[in-house]
Amino acid sequence: METSRYTLPLLLIAFSFLLTLSAQMTGNFKCGEPGDSPSTCRSLVGYSSKQATTYGNIQTLFAVKKLRSILEANNLPLSTPRAQGVNPNQVVRVPIPCSCSNGTGVSNRSPVYTVKKGDTLFFIASEIFGGLVRYQRISDLNKIPDASEIDVGQRFWIPLPCSCDEVNGQNVVHYAHVVKSGSSLGEIASQFGTDNKTLAQLNGISGDAQLLADYPLNVPLRACNTSLREESLDAKMLLPNSSYSITANNCIRCSCEAANNWTLSCEASQLKPSSTWQTCPSPQCEGAESLFVGNTTNTSCGPRSCAYAGYSNQTIFTALSPDPCSGSGGNSSGPPGNYASTFSSSFSFAMVLIQCALICLCLL
């Protein structure tokens, strides 16, 4: 009975291996905690097809409303046509609506796929959707009784992995990266500007040995800092490095470049407005008539800039950095967008002081 001594440890090793396997296969796109109220956000998946395809086909496959959203996420010009080719194995970033519920993030009942002749669930998951989802997951979430029996014309929801969670206290855009065989956590981390420890923690694995090829890895992409107001209709805009977004009813173009110190950079788009706006409101900073969104001027005391702070259905908000010449408040190093709120809170504090003084006077 020499072997029995090894049976238990071997079983334990096999068991923990299975546990970590299932962690990367299903559990690595955590989102919130079980029991939290559902939340939503935009997430990204990295899609590649073994066959040549087009941006238009990818838009249709993933049910993305506007081709423009794909162009923005890949930093491609707005003039890129739907028929523009995508090479075999070229990775395209596809934006998806993420819904977090019961601690897991999954694309919000979208996209829906219609079964074609010759399809199997395995083929749909690993080939058509590029390995972004496991076929068991499609089967489970669509409550398919027998995964080996699917019919032409049958329609399934494809549950793509995603997340809305902050990582290390920072807002990030989550990206589902399908791991290539032979790659390491360190390589993936440096490719996407993060570190191997963060990747390992987020995905519930301890090192390269547990990195599974052809399965999606949850990669947090750092987003540019913004000056957006909370009440802005695009307050939740998060742009990762080397992407852009047309916002404010088409009137403003914002872009994020790591090289610009991770600060969102916005300017008038020069496009026709959408929605009810006849013309785009002039994105001019109040109190500095010559400064428009995106402008920075040099004053004798230092630079002063006008940043985009969001929009409502009436107007575009701007954020003028404090006047460097009025040195009273010191050299503010905070984000320029907070100037207005700082002003109003110190104003109400002054009002409280005045009221206290009045009450004291009355008491005397």
Ligand X SMILES: *[C@@H]1O[C@H](CO)[C@@H](O)[C@H](O)[C@H]1NC(C)=O
Kindly tell me which residue out of 38, 81, 88, 302 binds ligand X, with binding defined by CB under 6 A: 302
We find the least distance from the C-beta atom of residue 227 to ligand X, in angstroms, to be 10
Contact with ligand X (CB under 6 A) among 57, 236, 294, 338: 294
Which of the ranges 24-32, 81-89, 154-162, 191-199 carries the binding residues for ligand X, by CB under 6 A? Answer: 191-199
Calpha distance 196→210 (Å, rounded): 13
Please tell me what DSSP assigns to residue 170.
B
CB of 132: closest distance to ligand X in angstroms? 21
Residue placing its CB nearer to ligand X in the complex, 57 or 136: 136
Residue 292 interacting with ligand X (CB under 6 A): yes
Answer for which of 122, 135, 157, 262 binds ligand X (CB under 6 A) is 262
Read off the tokens for 10: 């071997």
| Stretch in the footprint of ligand X (CB under 6 A) among 10-18, 59-67, 254-262, 351-359 | 254-262
3-state secondary structure 17-42: HHHHHHHHHHHCCECCCCCCCCEEEE
Indicate the pairing of strand 92-101 with strand 104-107. antiparallel
**Residue 4 contacts ligand X per CB under 6 A:** no
In whole angstroms, give the CA distance from residue 172 to residue 245: 16
**79 near ligand X, judged by CB under 6 A:** no
**CB 77: neighbour CB atoms within 10 A?**
6
Distances (CA, A) of 259 to 117, 159, 172, 209, 301: 48, 35, 17, 34, 25
Give the Cα separation of 99 and 235 in Å (integer): 18
- Asked whether position 241 contacts ligand X by CB under 6 A, the answer is yes
Which amino acid makes up residue 308? Y
Cα radius of gyration (the chain): 26
- The residue from 34, 77, 118, 182 that contacts ligand X (CB under 6 A) is 34
- Selected range binding ligand X among 48-56, 58-66, 133-141, 263-271, rule: CB under 6 A: 263-271
Could you list the residues that contact ligand X (CB under 6 A)? 34, 102-103, 185-186, 193, 196-197, 200, 207, 225, 241-242, 258, 261-263, 267-268, 292, 294-295, 297-298, 301-302, 313-314, 324, 327, 331
